[in-house]
Chains A and B, each alone.
Chain A
Amino acid sequence: MSRPVVEARGLTKIFPMPSGAVTALQEVDLLLDPGESVAITGPSGCGKSTLLHLLGCVDTPTSGQVLIDGVDVAGLNDAARSRLRLTTIGFVFQRFFLLPMLTAGENVDLPQLEAGAIRRDCRRRTLELLDYVGLADRVGHRPSQLSGGEMQRVAIARALANRPRIVLADEPTGELDEVTGEQIAALLHRVHLDGTTVLIATHDRNLASSAHRRLVLGGRDHRLHEPGVDR
């Protein structure tokens, strides 16, 4: 049996606040196998984004363990975690987070170049990816010249640039209208079908329904549950 892409064990995240500590996650366990597509749903503020940040190595848990491709990220220094994010994880955010001074093509180039790709190969891959997301004719356009849906497509192309083991999408349709959201959902579904593990945090029912597996985060215990399981 193949190794899980992501394994979270007893993840707890508590934010210290002046008015008292706030528990975002409590003893969360999660196992993602290669090729899976999982949607995590739950009300706003339930900790979906926090969970993705912990799994994406951009934040550290108060307690618990995260293993990416079998590697315990707690034992990695900042440079190694950066490398892991660069090569193994693809991020898609609600606010796209494209670099405004770069063109769509350059935004997709960037993680490849950072990972050490040869510029010519990198450009070829960028063109393939932009074609994959339906924006082959927008290579030279800056984010300000793109619509919200187009920017999210570029963000997905960027997330796929280094052929990551997993794509983490945090509310990818949150800033899009319904029709555009459906197009993004379809695109993420295609990414999954093409073999990439996808973990989506969303409260968009349509997007969640396109996932292979659905989990619900929230409730008083701040844990992950299968839908319909009594908390």
Chain B
Amino acid sequence: MIRRDVKVLVLAAFLLGVFLPISGVEVEGASRGDILVSRPLAEALDLAAGDPIRLARTRDGSDPWPYRIVGIYEPIPDPIKITRKRYEIRMHLQDLLDREQSSDGDEPSRYAQYINVGLVDPDRAGEVADQLNQDPFLYARPARGAGGDIDVFAVLERFHLAIAVIALMGSCAFLLALMVMRAEERRETAGILRILGVRRSRILGEVLVEGVLIAVPGALFGIVLAAAAQGSINRFFQWKYDTALVFVQITPLLAAKCLALSIPLGVVAGLAASWSILRQDPLSMVQR
């Protein structure tokens, strides 16, 4: 049942340094199977779909078997492997087993530590993992959904959340300091208004409106800036790390969260700063 579900085997870095590409050269013997080559590897060795290639099990390249490249694929973006060159191939599991069992009775010199298995029906991942886990020498888990504590993206998300909280706290302190300075600048004006008979609530209302008028365009500007910059940031880091990982993505939900946080924060900071001045009596506001 499991064998039937297995479609493609992905062997990450298994044959790094062990393949002998012969692009454009007639490879001796019939192809032992079809393989896929990762895009970075194909670029590094100038390989293309249809090219013949020989793969060996050992670094010295002895006993190479001929294969045919049937496609180039973009490696699945993985933050853990961001600094690594993704020199990978994919081959059918049976071809891999044949290759490994062909060594004249020697123990295989290399082994696969991890394999990713693509299922015809991904919804059955949990069931397949359970069956595999009946073998005491195997550990399997679904790649998505039940990642638990080793879900890299979940860990990254928590890390980003922590950074965001710290940045937000710092921004709040900075914003409050700015608003206090701004309120202090208008201390005498507020004092004059109070002496003339303008109510505190009226002045706070003006501050509230002003806060909204500053916070809303400020938040929108921040979102527009981030949205405009995300393309450049992604392109730069994708170029730098040769990955398809998306580093920045301004989603509508994220923009809404930004607005929902920044507007009340801006307004509250303005009100808090103004109240620190307005709660004083009018005379002390105009007498420095």
What is the interface of chain A, defined by CB distance below 8 A to chain B? 53, 56, 58-59, 78-79, 82-87, 89, 91, 97-101, 110-111, 114-115, 158
Please give, as numbers and ranges, the residues of chain B lying within 8 Å of A58 by CB-CB distance: 194-195, 281-283
Given contacts A58-B281, A58-B283, A59-B281, contact A114 B189 (CB under 8 A): no
Cβ contact within 8 Å between B283 and A97 = no
Given contacts A58-B281, A59-B281, contact A97 B197 (CB under 8 A): no
Residues of chain A contacted by B201 (CB below 8 angstroms):
79
Interface pair B196/A114, CB less than 8 Å apart: yes
B interface, by DSSP: helix, strand, loop or mixed? helix
Could you give, for residues 8-34 of chain B, a 1 whenever the CB lies within 8 Å of some chain A CB and a 0 otherwise?
000000000000000000000000000
Contact of B197 among A53, A85, A98, A100 (CB under 8 A): A85
CB <8 Å contact, B283 and A82: no
Query: Secondary structure of the A side of the interface?
Result: helix
17 residue pairs bridging A and B, Cβ less than 8 Å apart: A58-B194, A58-B282, A58-B283, A59-B283, A79-B199, A79-B201, A83-B199, A85-B195, A86-B196, A97-B286, A99-B193, A100-B189, A101-B189, A110-B193, A110-B196, A114-B202, A115-B197
> In this complex, what residue of B is CB-closest to A89?
B197
| Contact assessment for B192 and A97 in the assembled complex, using a CB-CB cutoff below 8 Å | yes
User: Measured between C-beta atoms, what is the minimum distance from A36 to chain B in Å?
Assistant: 22
Question: Nearest Cβ distance between residue A116 and chain B, in whole angstroms?
Answer: 12
Residue from the list B188, B189, B199 in contact with A82, Cβ < 8 A: B199
* B189-212 with Cβ < 8 A to chain A: 189, 192-202
Number of chain B interface residues as a range: 10 to 19
- Assembly CA distance A101 to B189 (angstroms): 10
Interface contact tally, CB-CB below 8 A: 52
Contact A86 B198 (CB under 8 A): yes
Q: A79 — nearest CB in chain B belongs to which residue?
A: B199
Distance in angstroms between the alpha carbons of A100 and B188 in the assembled complex: 11
Question: Which residues of chain A are near B197, meaning CB under 8 Å?
Answer: 82-87, 89, 111, 114-115
A97 to chain B, nearest CB (A): 5
Q: List, in ascending order, chain B residues with CB within 8 A of A115's CB.
A: 197
User: Which of chain A's residues have a CB closer than 8 A to the CB of B286?
Assistant: 97
Nearest chain A CB to B41's CB is how many angstroms away?
67
Q: Which residues of B contact A79 (CB under 8 A)?
A: 199, 201
For the complex formed, measure the closest distance between the CB of A4 and the CB atoms of chain B, giving whole angstroms. 21
B198 and A82 contact, CB distance less than 8 A: yes
Would you list the 3 A-B pairs with minimal beta carbon distance, nearest first?
A86-B197, A85-B197, A97-B192
